[in-house]
Amino acid sequence: MIVIAIDGPAASGKSSVSRRLAKHLGFSYVNSGSLYRAVTWEVLRQGVDTTCAEAIAGALANARFACTVSDAGESVVSINGAIAEAALRDPAINSHVSRVAAVPAVRALVTNALRALAADRSLVMEGRDIGSAVFPETPHKFYLDASPEIRNRRRAAEGLADQIEARDRMDSTRKTAPLTVAPGARVVETSHLTLDGVVAAILGLLKAAGIQEK
Portion of the chain with pLDDT greater than 90, in percent: 63
Backbone angles phi, psi at 194, to 5 degrees: -75, 165
Question: In terms of CATH, what superfamily is 3-207?
Answer: P-loop containing nucleotide triphosphate hydrolases (3.40.50.300)
188 forms bridges with which residues in the sheet?
144
Note the pLDDT tens digit of each residue in 80-109: 887 767 678 788 888 899 899 999 999 999
DSSP string, 138-175: -SEEEEEE--HHHHHHHHHHTT----HHHHHHHHHH-S
Whether the Cβ atoms of residue 211 and residue 204 lie closer than 8 Å to each other: no
Nearest CA-CA partner of 103 in 163, 59, 47: 59
Note the pLDDT tens digit of each residue in 138-150: 999 999 998 888 8
> Which residues are CB-neighbours of 109 under 8 A, at least 6 positions away?
39, 60, 65
The enclosing H or E element of 74 equals none
Note the pLDDT tens digit of each residue in 64-83: 888 889 988 998 888 888 77
pTM of the model: 0.88
Nearest CA-CA partner of 84 in 109, 107, 67, 108: 67
Q: 159 exposed, middle or buried (CB, 10 Å; 0-12, 13-18, 19+)?
A: exposed
Q: What residue ranges do the domains of the chain occupy?
A: 3-207
- Pairing status of strand 186-189 against strand 123-127: unpaired
Distance CA 104, CA 7 (A): 19
- Identity at 84, one-letter amino acid code: A
78 forms bridges with which residues in the sheet?
66
